Structure 1
Amino acid sequence: MIDVMKERVAKADWPDIQRRSGDALKRQFAKGPGLALPHAEEARVVLVDPTVEYPEDIKDPTTNTVLIKSGTKINPFDKVRWIRTLVFFDGTSSSQVGWVQQYLKEHDPKFVKLIISDGDVQKVMEQLHQRVYWANPLLVSRMGVGAVPSIVSQLGRHLRVEEVAIHE
């Protein structure tokens, strides 16, 4: 079995494998996360409660000590202040990318994280001259983002999700 594997490795066309892998990676970056979030049709603000309730005890695996009792509710904003603003937008929409450019002129980019629901992350980074991240379904769900563009920030013990209507 090992001899067969060694033979296949020796016969492999490694430059072609590397080229195909690189091409596949470029296609994935150009495609983006592909989350088809609807575009905001009207401006609205939603407050999202980030409180988590633990359905069962959380124990230290080494000592079996209960760290969090079942039924405990924890809101992270009781302990920490969230100084960043998340801006979710569609990287394939030129009007949304233009809106983000204007937003960055009006707000300190050090405190803004840009997150695209769709589009070529490299192209959008070059357009905005700022790091851009991909959205994922868990992040979108936890942040309460229902449409793009949306601005997510902390308001007291809640997440403030502001959907911005951009008429294309």
Structure 2
Amino acid sequence: MTRDTRILAGFLLLLCSALHAPFSDAVAADLGVHGQVFPVAEPDMLEMIMAKLRQMEAEGKITEMQEGLKSRTAAYAVRPPPVPGIGTAVQARSWLYDPAVALNRDLQDQDGNVFQKSGRRINPLDYINLSQQMLFINGDDEKQVAWAKRTENALGGRAKIILVRGAVADHSRREGKPYYFDQGGKLTERFGIRNVPALIRQEGRYLRIEEVPQ
């Protein structure tokens, strides 16, 4: 049996153990014998699992499952699922985003000295500058891809191109530099972006967000 099969068997055994865990001592009190008692004829659960796994392995089903998982993972890396709810910008929209956050606990140094109190608002732009603009595009839209390239060139390369749809690996390979993907729409949701192309740049202690129709 292969290592992957043994791991799967162990996981299934753990699951079965959890489902058949004994009650607490308070519940499992000895109530005596009432009526005729018969032995419990229950097959060995582990042996059943192992037999099923051996059958699946002999039939090549485990290898098939592993290959399917590899294929799905590779496809996801090449073209992740598009970010839902993102449209194409048809009119310009611009707003400011405050990146400050309120601390939910005191911050202490290695000696236990508090240097930031809970509840205080901290703005990371007071300590660092956004060195690159972020450009959000639909990688399947040629106009948006061209806009991103023009904008990046105008900024002297100081930009990150982030896709909300498209084959991110193909773009990276073709351009010879990393392209990024807004996995799960975390960034567009945080910044309130609903249409692309869009860009984010620093403006003092805030971030300026713009949706730019093409």
Structure 1 position 154, deviation (Å): 1.0
Higher RCO (CA 8 Å, separation ≥ 6 residues): 1
SS at match of 1:152: strand
Residue aligning to 2:186: 138
| Residue 98 to residue 6, structure 1, CA distance change in 2 (3 Å) | farther
Match of 1:43 among 92, 97, 108: 92
Q: Sequence identity, in percent?
A: 26
State whether residues 48 and 143 of structure 1, in contact with CA within 8 Å, keep that contact through their aligned partners in structure 2. yes
Is 1:158 aligned to 2:203, yes or no?
Answer: no
- TM-score for the superposition, normalised by structure 1: 0.78
Deviations 1:56-97 (A, max 9, x none): 43466x988656433211111111111111111111212211
SS of alignment partner, residue 153 of structure 1: strand
Q: Does residue 118 of structure 2 align to residue 118 of structure 1? A: no
Amino acid in the other structure paired with 1:88: F
Change beyond 3 A, Cα 1:59–1:155: closer
Unaligned runs of 5+ in 2: 1-45
Say which is worse superposed, 147-156 or 23-32, in terms of deviation: 23-32
Cα distance between partner residues in 1 of 2:189 and 2:141: 22
Q: Distance in 1 between matches of 2:210 and 2:144?
A: 14
Give distance in 2, aligned partners of 1:139 and 1:87.
Answer: 11
Shift of 1:41: 1.1
List alignment gaps of at least 5 residues for structure 1: none
Q: CA offset at residue 115 of structure 1?
A: 0.8
Q: Is the 8 A contact 1:33 1:135 kept in 2?
A: no
Pairing 1:18-57 to 2, within 5 Å after superposition = 18-36=66-84, 37-54=86-103, 56-57=104-105
- How many residues matched? 164
In 2, Cα distance between the equivalents of 1:75 and 1:105? 29
User: Is the Cα contact below 8 Å between 2:163 and 2:179 reproduced in 1?
Assistant: yes
Question: Contact 2:57/2:63 (CA < 8 Å) preserved in 1?
Answer: no
Summarize deviations over 1:87-119 as a string: whole Å, max 9, x none.
11111212211222222332322x211111111
- What amino acid maps onto 1:41 in structure 2? V
Provide the TM-score with structure 2 as the length reference. 0.63
The structural deviation recorded for 1:159 is 0.6
Bigger Cα Rg: 2
Output the aligned Cα RMSD: 3.1
Partner of 1:11: 57
Secondary structure (helix, strand or coil) at the match of 2:99 reads coil
Return structure 1 stretches of 4+ with deviation > 6 angstroms.
62-65
Give the CA deviation at 1:165.
0.6
